[in-house]
């Protein structure tokens, strides 16, 4: 499981472009055993830069065993001192997710996962709210199966979508960022969709490989009570290990008042019941990575598809750009395909995205 040349190339992007590592800084690298090739590359490249790496490796599949066997005390016990110590120790964070089974938690009662998430999420907030973390999903057999392709094809697709010219992406997305900064209202029409989103006074964030890899989006947090209308999401997603598709939401004054799904509706409703903030949008974004052309049933990829939009139910980010005030234990991104006939997004009446084409 030694890194390939592409692993080393991506490690360099993550350390130099994403988190801008300097000598004598400390880097926390988290992954599972399936992400070891890329994690090794990041570890080695960190040392080359004179920084200090710490590699934190979990064994894949243990989440299922924990939720299946944990008693109430174990479920609600979180080693706060350990988690806080790791996060406070590091100057930067490289997170490599590599799953062996994306459906393993489908047998678990979502309430158990929700209760634990409420305890863990606040401990992770200092990292999420910092300016120096990067997240990627590393190709595995499970990811390939969900995407409907071979592992070999997935690896080719993965490196083609992550090893891109992020400086060029930055230049292209800054113009979209400016339009969103100056806007007051986003209006979206499309299949089963007629949605108005108040963005007055919000600042957008162009994303070009500083937090996610792959990347390519521009997002902001809507005004909390300023979302009204209905929206239909064409792309499926996963919630607690369950596939949820054909999601249709109705908003009034910023909150979901009606929710349906063609598949996985029970999981959708449980997500909305997580806490009061789960029914409010914490993010609205436009996807702009045109190297990603198809759904993968992986949000990190799907939300970046060029010509789509996505919205996140739950927690808003806290940065000045892209940030808002909504609080929740979840941040659940759902993707709408705007490449379909008749789909249009306007900002203050000006067409910005039409049938999958950015007009900026």
Shared domain check, 184 and 101: no
Weakest-pLDDT range from 181-195, 215-229, 291-305: 291-305
> Do residue 170 and residue 153 come from a single domain?
no
1: pLDDT strictly greater than 80: no
Same domain membership, residue 141 and residue 170? no
Measure the CA–CA gap between 200 and 348, rounded to whole angstroms.
10
Banded pLDDT at 129 (limits 50, 70, 90): confident
Q: How far apart are CA 203 and CA 347, in angstroms?
A: 14
Predicted confidence at residue 103, as pLDDT, reads: 85
Q: Determine the angle formed by the axes of helices 110-128 and 80-89, rounding to 10 degrees.
A: 30
Strand order in the sheet with 331-337: 205-207, 217-220, 281-287, 308-314, 331-337
Residues in the chain: 360
- 259 φ, ψ (degrees, to nearest 5): -145, 130
The model's pLDDT over 91-128, given as tens digits with 9 standing for 90+, comes to 999 999 999 988 888 888 888 988 898 899 889 888 88
Distance CA 314, CA 301 (A): 20
Percent of the chain with pLDDT over 70: 100
Structure tokens at 223: 């005004």
Which of 146, 162, 178 delimits the end of a domain? 162
Q: Based on the fold, state whether residues 134 and 189 are members of the same structural domain.
A: no
Which of 130, 162, 194 is the last residue in one of the domains?
A: 162
DSSP SS3 for 142: helix
Q: Are residues 147 and 284 in the same domain?
A: no
pLDDT of residue 89: 96
287 pLDDT band, cuts 50/70/90, is very high
Last residue of a domain, one of 128, 162, 196: 162
Which secondary-structure segment (H or E) carries 198? strand 193-198
Q: Which domain holds residue 121?
A: 5-162
pLDDT, average across residues 253-272:
96
Banded model confidence at residue 130, pLDDT cuts 50, 70, 90: confident
pLDDT digits (tens, 9 = 90+) for 21-45: 999 999 999 999 999 999 999 999 9
Q: Which two tokens stand for residue 185?
A: 């209202």
Asked whether the whole model's pTM tops 0.95, one would answer no
**Residue 58: CATH number of its domain:** 3.40.1830.10
**What confidence score (pLDDT) does residue 258 get?**
98
CA separation for the pair 110, 33 (Å, rounded): 25
- The half-sphere exposure of 103 on its side-chain side, counting CA atoms within 13 A, is 9
Do residues 209 and 65 share a domain? no
Range of weakest confidence among 48-52, 117-121, 141-145 = 117-121
Segments of the chain assigned E as strands: 26-32, 52-58, 92-97, 133-137, 185-190, 193-198, 205-207, 212-213, 217-220, 227-233, 237-239, 242-244, 247-252, 255-260, 281-287, 308-314, 331-337, 344-347, 350-354, 357-358
76/183 same-domain check? no
Q: pLDDT band for position 15 (50/70/90)?
A: very high
Judge if 180 and 154 occupy the same domain.
Answer: no
- Nearest Cα to 104, choosing from 76, 146, 135, 58? 146
218 and 232 share a domain? yes
What rounded mean pLDDT belongs to the chain? Answer: 94
Residue 252 sits in the same domain as residue 270: yes
Q: Is-contact 16 44, C-beta < 8 A?
A: no
Q: How many domains does the chain have?
A: 2
pLDDT in tens, 192-250: 999 999 999 999 999 999 999 999 999 999 999 999 999 999 999 988 878 999 999 99
Q: Give the DSSP H or E segment for 39.
A: helix 36-48
C-alpha distances out from residue 164 to 144, 161, 207, 215, Å? 21, 7, 13, 9
Domain shared by 194 and 339, yes or no: yes
């Amino acid at each position: 499981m030694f890194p390939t040349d592409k692993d080393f190339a991506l490690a360099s992007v993550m350390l130099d472009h994403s988190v801008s590592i300097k000598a004598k800084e400390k880097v926390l690298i988290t992954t599972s055993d399936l992400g070891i090739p890329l994690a090794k590359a990041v570890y080695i490249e960190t040392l080359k830069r004179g920084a200090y790496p710490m590699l934190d490796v979990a064994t894949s599949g243990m989440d299922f065993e924990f939720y299946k066997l944990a008693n109430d005390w174990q479920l609600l016990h979180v080693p706060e001192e350990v988690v806080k110590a790791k996060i406070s120790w590091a100057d930067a964070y490289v997170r490599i997710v590599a799953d062996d089974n994306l459906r393993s938690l489908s047998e678990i009662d979502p309430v158990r996962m929700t209760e634990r998430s409420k305890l863990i999420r606040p401990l992770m907030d200092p990292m999420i709210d910092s300016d120096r973390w990067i997240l990627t999903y590393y190709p595995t057999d499970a990811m390939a199966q969900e995407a409907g392709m071979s592992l070999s094809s997935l690896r080719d697709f993965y490196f083609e979508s992550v090893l891109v010219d992020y400086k060029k992406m930055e230049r292209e997305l800054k113009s979209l960022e400016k339009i969103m900064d100056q806007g007051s209202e986003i209006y979206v029409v499309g299949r089963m969709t007629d949605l108005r989103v108040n963005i007055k006074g919000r600042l957008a964030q162009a994303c070009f490989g500083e937090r996610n890899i792959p990347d390519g989006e521009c997002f902001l947090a809507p005004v909390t009570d300023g979302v009204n209308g209905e929206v239909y999401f064409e792309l499926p997603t996963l919630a607690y290990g369950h596939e949820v598709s054909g999601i249709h939401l109705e908003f009034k004054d910023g909150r979901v008042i009606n929710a349906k799904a063609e598949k996985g509706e029970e999981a959708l409703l449980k997500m909305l019941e997580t806490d009061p903030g789960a029914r409010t949008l914490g993010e609205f974004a436009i996807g702009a990575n045109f190297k990603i052309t198809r759904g993968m049933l992986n949000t990190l990829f799907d939300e970046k598809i060029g010509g789509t939009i996505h919205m996140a139910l739950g927690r808003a980010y806290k940065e000045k750009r892209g940030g808002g005030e909504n609080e929740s234990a979840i941040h659940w991104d759902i993707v709408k395909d705007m490449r379909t006939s008749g789909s249009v997004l306007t900002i203050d009446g000006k067409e910005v995205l039409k049938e999958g084409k950015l007009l900026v």
